[in-house]
Amino acid sequence: MLDLSLLPLCPRRGLGTAVAGPAWVPGVCGPVSGCAGWGCCRGSAHQFRVPFGGSFYLLTLTLGPKLQVKRSKTRALRRLYQKESNQQIRTMKLTSYKKNLAEYKRLILAKKKEKFQEYINSITSSTLFGNNFNIITNKKRRTTMKKPIFNSDGNLTSNIQESAVAILDFHFPWSDEVLHSTTLGAQNDFLPISINETEGIINRIKLNKAVGTDGLPGEMVKEIFFANRQWFTDLLNYLLKNGIFPETWKSARIVLLDKENRSLDHPSHFRPICVLPCWGKVFDKIIAERLSFHLEQDQILSNKQFGFRKNRSTILAL
């Protein structure tokens, strides 16, 4: 169950601000961003609107017997108040009508919150965003390995697990041999990562890209970062100061692309693509930019090196 009290609204983007991205954003972020505006909904008793991005998403509300009786009584009191000509009696009936109207609105508000909680639970039944989220974002794909492949021993694999292991062993060979070992003393002379530095990296996250093992798309990483920029910046500073790069941020989701006009019976006929978690990319980019600045500022790189440097290209070397 998802506790609505634990869902902070983003102070930077504001309530109901749309984020350009995949189709699941209105279905999830819309109701969440609108949960604070229940009292502003002016729909009928059977339906209520959830604001999101300048538009509204409609959720159907079925009235129970208690609400139906309360609604009928409130409407009857309103008619009696409007028909009364005696001013003193009219004032008394108006007071009675407003009292019942306030109780009716409280019941409607409670029913709306209950309905919205049921909606949230329906899309978060098994995982954070449920199977619908996985299908919309194409996280559930059919495998391209439709037949056995040859492993390193020259034998055909018998199932998809063996085929996956054979492909991984071919493209990512493992070796326990230590080629070089260097031990350096710990140094903590790094400048702290600023909020602006982190925000600059976050704003350059490419949207609508495949998600890594954490299941967080770039749009969501942006939103949760701007919800508490200082906390995430402090986290990155702690990791940098202590020389820690979390293992989960280095765990990649491997997607296999089959090469054209190949029989797909050998590991070399597949092209693997490693999709890393978004936060790992952010931390890696911060470190890479700092190293690049250090190498350029202190002129450590050779003037003859043109590749992989800013404002330089291999064409300029000609």
Kindly write down the DSSP assignment for every residue of 32-94, as one continuous string.
HHTGGGGGG----SSEEEEEETTEEEEEE----HHHHHHHHHHHHHHHHHHH---HHHHHHHH
2: Cβ–Cβ under 8 A, 6 or more apart, which residues? 120, 121, 124
pLDDT exceeds 70 at position 273: yes
pLDDT exceeds 60 at position 138: no
3-state DSSP assignment of residue 301: coil
pTM of the model: 0.49
Rounded mean pLDDT of 131-139?
51
Q: Which helix (H) or strand (E) holds 253?
A: strand 253-258
pLDDT band at residue 200 under the 50/70/90 scheme = very high
- Cα dihedral angle (197, 200, 204, 207), rounded to 10 degrees? 100
pLDDT band at residue 202 under the 50/70/90 scheme = very high
pLDDT exceeds 70 at position 157: yes
| DSSP secondary structure letters along 254-299 | EEEEEPTT--S-SGGGEEEEEE--HHHHHHHHHHHHHHHHHHHHTT
Say what the pLDDT of residue 10 is. Answer: 37
**Phi and psi of 149, rounded to 5°?**
-125, 165
Say what the pLDDT of residue 232 is. Answer: 93
Contact (CB, 8 A) for 286 and 198: yes
The pLDDT tens digits of the residues spanning 11-59 come to 333 333 333 334 433 444 444 334 433 333 333 445 555 554 444 555 6
Q: How far is CA 295 from the centre of its chain?
A: 35
245 token code pair: 């790069």
Say what the pLDDT of residue 97 is. Answer: 92
What integer best gives the mean pLDDT of the chain?
74
pLDDT exceeds 80 at position 125: no
Say what the pLDDT of residue 300 is. Answer: 86
Among 199, 218, 204, CA closest to 276: 218
pLDDT exceeds 90 at position 63: no
- Beta-bridge partner residues of 55: 52
Say what the pLDDT of residue 48 is. Answer: 56
Among 187, 293, 204, 203, CA closest to 240: 187
pLDDT band at residue 216 under the 50/70/90 scheme = confident
